[in-house]
Amino acid sequence: MKYALQKVLTFILTLFLVSLLTFLAFNIIPGDPAQLILGTSASPEQLAVLHRQLGLDEPLPTRYLRWLTGFFSGNLGTSIQYSVSVRSLIAGRLPVTLVLAGMALLLIVVISIPVGVFCAKKKDTVVDKLLGTVTMINVSIPNFFLGILFIWLFGIILKCFTPGGYVDFTDDSKGFLTYLFFPALAVALPNIAVAVKFIRTSFIGQMKLDYVRTAYSKGNSDNAVLYRHVLKNALVPVVTLFGMILSEIFSGSIIIEQVFGIPGVGRLLINSILSRDFPLVESLVVYIACVVVIANLLVDILFQVIDPRIRIRSGQSS
């Protein structure tokens, strides 16, 4: 209980710092948002009126508090570029990104665990070394290059999908999911490589322990030992890795959306940065960071649920 409380407190503190850092970053920049909206030809009176409207004449702490309460009540301000509320813009784009991230996560889990276990089982054989090299290459490919390779190979040569032919979910749900498959794979592959490496090491570490020998001596087959006994223990450290991978997935999808022309949050973010639409960038950044922080908290809790030892150990130490 104490452990959970400590986690939640750290979580709240982190969220607070994330929002504070973002707010400060966008409010100490030289340049006047009012000037940006009205253009250089605006008169000083017009600027003053808009300053009042945007609340820019108030001191920094007041502005921060108002921005924060606005954030919690869902009032995120208005985009300069699109002249619509930031909230509706994000709400429209978020599902696409979440589906992409979800697909990528699914691919990572489904592929990395069996491959990692397989590598550990075949440790130091030719197959393991070969997969090790493939993994290394995968870690080293920038994901946007991977995306471009997919477009070239699967889109142009093999014609599995039409590059740039994104369809909305409401129009054609099957087409939507098919189009998202390759972007999701491009986001997933480098992370799969990291996970495979990690799972392999974790498994090899576990295989040396006494309980594995006991399990073998009871007459279990290779696979029974691996999947029924070792898997549970070896996956505990892997859960922390998945916290990190979640953040990587979001990073990756920001770029991959750009490569494949998917209208998600990432594309919105890049467009708003290029057009210097500060209210939108500010909200998007805090939004994405929050999703990552929350996901990490969930991973921490999950970690406790699957491994009672951590609960006990931290209970004793505090």
Partner 1 sequence: MKSKLNFDSRLGICFIGIILVLTVISFFYTPYNIYSMNIAERFISPGGGHLLGTDNFGRDVFSRLMCGAKFTLLVAGSTVCIGTFFGVILGLCSGYFGGIADECIMRLIDALNSFPGILLALVMVTVLGKVKYSIIPALGILFIPSFTRIARSGTLQIKNSEFIGNARACGASPVRIMFVHILPNLYPSLLTAIVVGFSNATLAESSMSYLGLGIQPPTPSLGRMLFEAQAYLFNAPWVALAPGITIMVIVLGFNYLGDGIRAGYHLN
Closer residue to partner 1, CB minimum distance, 180 or 292: 292
CB of 99 to partner 1, least distance (A): 18
Site for partner 1 contains 22 (CB under 8 A): yes
**How many Cα atoms sit within 13 Å of 131 on the Cβ side?**
24
Calculate helix-pair angle for 231-260, 265-274, nearest 10 degrees: 50
Binding status of residue 248 toward partner 1 by CB under 8 A? yes
Minimum CB distance to partner 1, residue 223 (Å):
28
Torsion of Cα atoms, 268 then 273 then 277 then 281, to 10°: 70
- Within 10 angstroms of residue 300's Cβ, the number of other Cβ atoms is 19
Give the shortest CB-25-to-partner 1 separation in angstroms.
Answer: 5
**Cβ within 8 Å of residue 54, ≥6 positions away:** 33, 34
Computed over its alpha carbons, how large is the radius of gyration of the chain? 24
Q: Is 154 in the site for partner 1 (CB under 8 A)?
A: no
Minimum Å distance from CB 79 to partner 1?
A: 15
Structure tokens at 190: 């480098």
Q: Nearer to partner 1 by C-beta: 226 or 277? A: 277
Which residue in the block uniquely carries the two structure tokens 């029974």? 224
Binding-residue pattern over the window 126 to 145 for partner 1, x denoting contact by CB under 8 A: ----------xx-xxxxxxx
The three-state (H, E, C) secondary structure of 236-266, written as one string: HHHHHHHHHHHHHHHHHHHHHHHHHCCCCHH
160 scored as a contact of partner 1 (CB under 8 A): no
Least Å from the CB of residue 110 to partner 1:
22
If binding is defined by CB under 8 A, does position 6 make contact with partner 1? Answer: no
Using the rule CB under 8 A, is 296 a contact of partner 1?
yes
Q: Residue 74 in 3-state DSSP?
A: coil
Alpha-carbon 257 to chain mean position: 13
Q: Number of residues in contact with partner 1, rule: CB under 8 A? A: 49
289 lines the binding site for partner 1 (CB under 8 A): yes
Residues at the contact surface with partner 1, assessed by CB under 8 A: 10, 13-14, 17-18, 21-22, 25-26, 28-29, 31, 136-137, 139-145, 148-149, 151-152, 156, 163, 201, 247-248, 250-251, 254-255, 258-259, 269-270, 273-274, 276, 278, 281, 285, 288-289, 292-293, 296
